[in-house]
Amino acid sequence: MTGGLISEVRRSSMRSAASPAVRPARDHIPGEIGIWLFVAGDLLVFSAFFIVIALGYKTQIELFTQARATLDMWVGVLNTLFLLTGSWFVAKGVESCRETHGVSSHRYFALGILCGVLFVANKSFEWGLKISAGITPLTNDFFMYFFVFTGIHLVHVVVGLGVLLVARGVSRRPVLRAKDIRTVESAATFWHLIDLLWIVLFSMFYLL
């Protein structure tokens, strides 16, 4: 995930010179500047969310500790695994588009999408269990933050799935132009952002 982001940048700078579709290695930014502005903006807002959670924890340590113990950590671990694996497939998809563009390109994206769908299914399962046990966002402040912030993240995942579908569609084209590579890279960057945000949410809700 963060590794995904970093390796994405590194890979692109190493390989872009070999590909006629992308700009020279030195000044190549994966995707385009706009998507990085978006990433920076979203990180800024999520940082505010993380501060809200931390302040909640600080003011109600006992309640947060007790409520946290009721979460099934392995559901969170499984979701992390889905997103990390999905990010790996997406990174492979981008690599495939840049280098040996062929059938494998869109298959990697399809596998990335599958991982995203599994994440959504697992999250729905986790939420369903909690709600059927009578735990809702109104139960206490911990679950209010839990449902709302993981819900906002879930909105990102759903949007990300749409973005990956676009990337998959583009990667099916027989010949990829520089514009197509840019689209695929921007989509991957957004997907890695989702991954990064989840890692922090996972740590704050399940581990700390």
Partner 1 sequence: MQPTKSDSLFRKSMKFCAWSGYMAVIFYIIGGVILGGMTPPLLNAGESPEVFVAKITENQFQLQIASIFMMISFALFGSFGAGIAAQTRRFETNPVFSYVQLVFSAGGMVIALLVAFAWALMAFRPETYHPTVVMMFTDFAYFCALFSVPLFGGWCVMIALPILLAEEGREPFPRWVAYANLWAALLYVPGQLILFFKDGPFAWHGFVALWIPYIAYFAWIWIMSMALIKVANAKGNEPLDTRLSAAAVTA
CB of 131 to partner 1, least distance (A): 13
Q: Which stretch binds partner 1 (CB under 8 A): 42-50, 58-66, 94-102, 168-176?
A: 42-50
Q: Which of 74, 38, 77 is nearest to 156 (CA)?
A: 38
The minimum distance between CB 39 and partner 1, in angstroms, equals 9
Contacts (CB under 8 A) with partner 1, residues 170-189: 179
Tell me if 57 contacts partner 1 by CB under 8 A.
no
The DSSP code for 27 is: G
Place of tokens 């139960």: 139
Q: How far apart are alpha carbons 177 and 183 in whole angstroms?
A: 10
**Chosen residue from 98, 106, 130, 156 binding partner 1 by CB under 8 A:** 156
- Write 118-127 long-range contacts (CB < 8 A, 24+): 118/82, 119/79, 119/82, 119/83, 119/86, 119/157, 120/154, 120/157, 120/158, 120/161, 122/75, 122/78, 122/79, 122/82, 123/79, 123/150, 123/154, 123/157, 125/75, 126/72, 126/75
Residue 155 beta carbon to partner 1: minimum distance, rounded to whole angstroms: 6
Closer residue to partner 1 (CB): 94 or 193: 193
For the bound state, the minimum distance from the C-beta of residue 52 to partner 1, rounded and expressed in Å, comes to 6
Under rule CB under 8 A, residue 111 binds partner 1 = no
Interacting residues with partner 1 (CB under 8 A): 32-35, 37-38, 41-42, 45, 48-49, 52, 137-138, 141, 144, 148, 152, 155-156, 159, 179
